Chains A and B, each alone.
Chain A
Amino acid sequence: MTELLRTEGLTKRFRGLVANDNVDFTLDSGAVRCVIGPNGAGKTTFISMISGHLMPTAGRLWFKGREITALSVARRAKMGIARKFQTPSVFDRLTVDDNLELAALGKPVSAGERRANIEEVLEITRLHDLRRIVASALSHGQRQWLEVGMLLANRAELLLLDEPTAGMTAEETSATGELIRMLADSRNLSIIIIEHDISFIRGLKAPVTVLHLGRVLVNGSFEEVAENEHVRNVYLGHE
């Protein structure tokens, strides 16, 4: 397992508010990590600093061995960092196929390879029969999957998923869990997931990082974290 992502002392201050405080974090390729924490813990800020949408106030980041601290969103995306936003950000007026095509264009491969890639993604995301449907006509769950599909078509190596199951039915949620497992295991993708759905996280059987007030509170398996005194107190508002 090689180290894919590393942050050291990652800090973000907004005029007196410390959103992220000295976060050290590592992730290997092919690994899944859940990031949880109460509202305001700094989870989305952390993800934003990895994707490049926010620049850190202090600290550094490395991806695939290269320092990316000063790189723009587009540069990091080209390197393979892909972000899925809390509200699905797809091209509403384009068809599913066009959405994936545009995503696939982000990486310099031949047209034939691109096509094959898109076909594969359509299968994985079960959107094959909907390929000519305009994205705005999809159900919410299907739009979430389309967005993930776009990231796959874009040949992402690190997926940053911000609340991927928000607004999904139970069925869609469990299917999403399977998808994530499959992506990590068979395609060696690394995935960081911000989630609130406890049963979903439990089902993923992946290590968990708990953030609180911008700092890393604890790292461990789901069971370890669930039994941790501190974590319980934090969620109950005692800390």
Chain B
Amino acid sequence: MSEKRTSAEMGLPASMRLYSETTVALVIFVLLAALPVLVSGYSIYILPQYLLYGMLAMSLGILWGFTGILSFGQAAFFALGAYAMGLAAKWGVTGNPAYVGLLASLVVGAGLAAVVGYFLFSVGVRDVYFVLVTLALSIMVEQITVSQSQITGGYNGMFVPRFSLSFGVGPELDLSSDAAIYYVVLPVVAAVYFLLRWLLKCPIGKVLVGIRENEDRVISLGFNTSLFKTAAFALSGAIACLAGALYGAHANFVSPSLAGVLFSTQVVVWVAIGGRESLLGALFGAVGVSALSNYLTAVIPEYWQLVLGILFVVVIIGFKGGIAGAIGRVFGGEAGDGGRD
């Protein structure tokens, strides 16, 4: 364990730390908001997808980075959200199917996670077994979506329409244009980011970090950690599911492979490389890696995944903080201190 001192200890007053994470995040989100004005075309089309991957990564970040619970099954929730969206449209529910789909995704995500989570955490199922269960969950969701092909279209997948949002008054906002859906996804992702940041400063957030650091101690201080862990898992499930719902609408398509093990574990790779204990690291780790993957797959397909694999191993062995951690260290502060500024 290294001798870590705060910036106050090193003689630098806290105010000199210009690069607090919230400031950086604000700057980035403002830049992103301005982007469609300056650029158009493919980047604007594809960026919401990466941002939603980022949201998915944040769902793992809050679970793994902040509570210490690793999940290899986030993709299961992601896919379920997308299917919820598709089914809401397909079954022609009353009211705006978009809202139904989004709400359903939140309920399904939180509900499934809460049930599975409590089932396991309440008896103290150990972390590594939990990883295995989430892995199995991914496979199970993939298999269910394949087998129930009358509902889900099986291997061929399902079409998800670009919905329009109605606000009760005024015309409906049609989201078929790139810019329109961009300006729906970006605020949602930003909102989730700031919500999670706020949560980490709340008592519940501190307890989650405590659970990551020393669960026994947290129990000995009087907390029912199974409830907290279940809550964290439920929150992460809801976020992942919501991200999936928006993704489905954006990509207009969902297929079983979205739930699969390979995608689920990609999320872990993104978060590990981006920096698991930094929400911004997780978010832009996902955006960066998936954007790069997309670009490089056209150029040098095989080797990129190999490089990612090697990078992943390197991060696990020596650079737990990922890229965000490295950046944090460069700017003279503590890396991975539970989300404090």
Contact = CB atoms under 8 A, between A and B. Distances in A.
Check whether chain A touches chain B (CB < 8 angstroms).
Answer: yes
Interface of A: 51, 73-75, 77-78, 82-83, 89-95, 98, 101-103, 105-107, 132-134, 136-137, 150, 154
Interface in B180-224: 203, 206-207, 209-210, 213-214, 216-224
A137 B3 CA distance: 6
Looking at B9, B214, B336, the one whose CB has the most chain A CB atoms below 10 A away is: B214
Contacts, number: 79
A154 to B, nearest CB: 5
B297 interface: no
B222 A133 contact: no
B223 A106 contact: yes
A199 to B, nearest CB: 29
Looking at A78, A93, A133, the one whose CB has the most chain B CB atoms below 10 A away is: A93
A94 B338 contact: yes
15 contacts: A51-B220, A89-B216, A91-B213, A92-B1, A94-B210, A94-B337, A94-B338, A98-B206, A105-B203, A105-B221, A132-B8, A133-B5, A134-B5, A137-B4, A154-B221
Contact of A154 (B206, B210, B222): B222
B6 A95 contact: yes
A107 B203 CA distance: 11
B220 A73 contact: yes
B225 interface: yes
B178 interface: no
A106 B1 contact: no
Contacts of A132: 6, 8-9
B223 to A, nearest CB: 6
A195 B63 CA distance: 40
B222 A91 contact: no
B6 A74 contact: no
B222 A107 contact: yes
A91 B210 contact: yes
Interface string B1-25: 1011110110000000000000000
Nearest to B213: A91
B245 to A, nearest CB: 34
B220 A90 contact: no
Given A102-B207, A105-B207, A137-B3, A93 B221 contact: no
Nearest to A102: B210
B206 A74 contact: no
Interface string B309-328: 00000000000000000000
Contacts of B9: 132-133
Contacts of B217: 89-91
Contacts of B3: 136-137
B220 A83 contact: yes
Looking at A73, A74, A77, A90, the one whose CB has the most chain B CB atoms below 10 A away is: A74
A11 B32 CA distance: 66
A89 B220 contact: yes
A93 B210 CA distance: 10
Nearest to B224: A74
Contact of A92 (B6, B213, B218, B334): B213
A52 B338 CA distance: 29
Contacts of B220: 51, 73-74, 77, 82-83, 89
Given A82-B221, A93-B213, A134-B6, 5 more contacts: A74-B220, A74-B222, A74-B223, A137-B5, A150-B221
B221 A106 contact: yes
Given A93-B337, A94-B338, A102-B207, A77 B221 contact: yes
Looking at A94, A102, A134, A154, the one whose CB has the most chain B CB atoms below 10 A away is: A102
B34 to A, nearest CB: 37
B194 to A, nearest CB: 21
A133 B6 contact: yes
A174 to B, nearest CB: 27
Contacts of B210: 91, 94, 102
Contacts of B216: 89
Nearest to A147: B217
B196 to A, nearest CB: 18
Contact of A89 (B207, B214, B222, B338): B214
Looking at B203, B213, B224, the one whose CB has the most chain A CB atoms below 10 A away is: B213
Contacts of B338: 93-94, 98
A82 B210 CA distance: 17
Nearest to A134: B4
